[in-house]
């Protein structure tokens, strides 16, 4: 029996933001096909967004601390990721995007992977949501297709 059995489960959310530029482009496709798929987001000089990021952890509230996770550590972990992205051209400055198209879907997956590898308790990571605009929002929960 787990020592956390019977403890209340709480989700905690930390919200941060970063600004970055990118260009949606697949080098394996023709210029015409890139424009067809990505439209104005395929602009040769790129474009930018002010992204809002929400990181959610989910776990038991520990009786000793009264917390799901140390907020100071969570802030540090997320800030390490934001520092990799903030005021950068994703395709040129972030190695991950050298071979991965910098869609917000892939930005969300990148943030998930980076947060998870830096958390002391990675199993608590529940969800990462990235707001590209007020109307375009992407969420990843670590799931893969079968």
Q: Do residues 4 and 60 lie in contact, with contact meaning Cβ atoms separated by under 8 Å? A: yes
pLDDT at 5: 81
Q: Tell me what pLDDT residue 28 has.
A: 94
In this predicted structure, the answer to whether residue 1 has a pLDDT above a threshold of 70 is no
Query: The tokens of 3 are what?
Result: 């020592």
Spans of all domains in the chain: 9-21+47-140
22 in a labelled binding site: yes
Kindly report the pTM of this predicted structure. Answer: 0.93
Interatomic CA distance for residues 27 and 36, integer angstroms: 14
pLDDT band, very low/low/confident/very high, at 49 (cuts 50, 70, 90): very high
62 in a labelled binding site: no
Higher pLDDT, 1 or 125: 125
pLDDT one-digit tens code per residue, 23-37? 999 999 999 999 999
Average pLDDT, the chain: 96
Q: Which residues are catalytic?
A: 41, 87, 132
pLDDT digits (tens, 9 = 90+) for 95-115: 999 999 999 999 999 999 999
What number is the average pLDDT over the span 11-20?
Answer: 98
What CATH architecture does domain 9-21+47-140 belong to? 2-Layer Sandwich (3.30)
């Amino acid at each position: 029996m787990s020592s956390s059995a019977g403890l209340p489960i709480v989700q905690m959310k930390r919200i941060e933001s970063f600004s970055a530029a990118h260009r949606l482009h697949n080098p394996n496709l023709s210029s015409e096909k890139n424009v067809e798929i990505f439209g104005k987001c395929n602009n040769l000089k790129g474009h930018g967004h002010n992204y809002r990021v929400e990181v959610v952890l989910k776990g038991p509230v520990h009786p000793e601390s009264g917390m799901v996770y140390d907020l100071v550590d969570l802030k540090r972990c997320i800030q390490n990721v934001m520092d990799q992205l903030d005021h950068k051209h994703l395709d040129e400055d972030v190695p991950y995007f050298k071979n991965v198209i910098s869609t917000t879907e892939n930005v969300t997956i990148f943030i998930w992977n980076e947060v998870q590898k830096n958390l002391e308790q990675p199993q608590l990571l529940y969800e990462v949501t990235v707001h590209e605009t007020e109307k375009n929002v992407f969420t990843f929960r670590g799931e893969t297709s079968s």
